[in-house]
Amino acid sequence: MPAIVLLFCLLLSGAAQAASNCSHTYRVGISQIGYSYYLLDDGTPAGSAFDFYKELGQRSGCAFQLWPLPRIRAWHEADLEHLDIISPTIRTDERDQKGVFVEYFKNRNDILIDRRHAAGIDSLAQLLADPSIKIGLIRGHSNGPYFDQRLAPLYAQQRIQLSPTPNNLFLKLQAGRIQATVMTAGVYQKELDELALGEQLRIIHVPESDAFGVGLYLSRRTLDQTSIDWLRQHVQAMIADGTLRMLLSKQHGKALTERFYEQAPPPLTDR
């Protein structure tokens, strides 16, 4: 894979050799998003992604090579057929053309806004209508169809600032360079915890928005059907028997994990 400085490349497998259903060592694009992948103070990589692929390797007999990449770079490398799996990520129609999606659970975005700029803002419509508020988003990260469609016009108004990682985005919020963002609790909770931004930011739920699937994509371009079926079978088994939920609780905490598995109600109003 050209032009990538790979600092942490781990082979995770419970078997000495891949099973006959594993066509090769699978290359996984992961990004620094919440508690799924992060660096400890000494630079050691940690997070639920490592636990997940270790367990999947033990079950499937396959080997996984984890490539830490910014999300936009991960999808670029997937387009070049340099990656076989991207996770965790959300489902979109465009991505469905490139891969087979395996859903972990459904989720919704929240709005996080600096309290100093939050007067009179209690909804997405009010946020979008205020030209003084700049909104930070993660480069290459989809926010789901509902939000992506409504945020799109703000690029031309120069009200969107893109960041490579959630941490970079929240440092901008902390410094007042942007005033708001939209993302799921699974992404923002780690940043709130570590930067102690609970007092500075107000969280606004958007119940009228659609819930979207969160999971992983298996590449149609680099994986044959046997590999796709084999991996999907074992991931779905981890979901069905509660293993995924247990692994998430270990890294994300029980309270946040319970939020992932709350039954997402239908939107309050039709789009």
Q: How is domain 11-106+212-260 classified at the architecture level of CATH? A: 3-Layer(aba) Sandwich (3.40)
Q: Which residue numbers in the chain have pLDDT < 70?
A: 1-19, 262-271
User: For residue 262, what pLDDT is reported?
Assistant: 66
Helix, strand, coil % in the chain, rounded to nearest 5:
35, 25, 40
Mention the CATH class of domain 109-205: alpha beta
How far is residue 49's CA from residue 66's CA, in Å, rounded to a whole number?
Answer: 9
User: For residue 112, what pLDDT is reported?
Assistant: 96
User: For residue 18, what pLDDT is reported?
Assistant: 54
Same fold, 11-106+212-260 and 109-205: yes
User: For residue 21, what pLDDT is reported?
Assistant: 86
User: For residue 12, what pLDDT is reported?
Assistant: 47
User: For residue 42, what pLDDT is reported?
Assistant: 85
- What are φ and ψ of residue 192, in 5° steps? -60, -40
DSSP labels for 84-125?
SEEEEEE--HHHHTTEEEEEEEEE--EEEEEGGG-TT--SHH
| Tokens, residue 248 | 């998430």
Domain boundaries, the chain: 11-106+212-260, 109-205
DSSP labels for 122-136?
-SHHHHHH-TT--EE
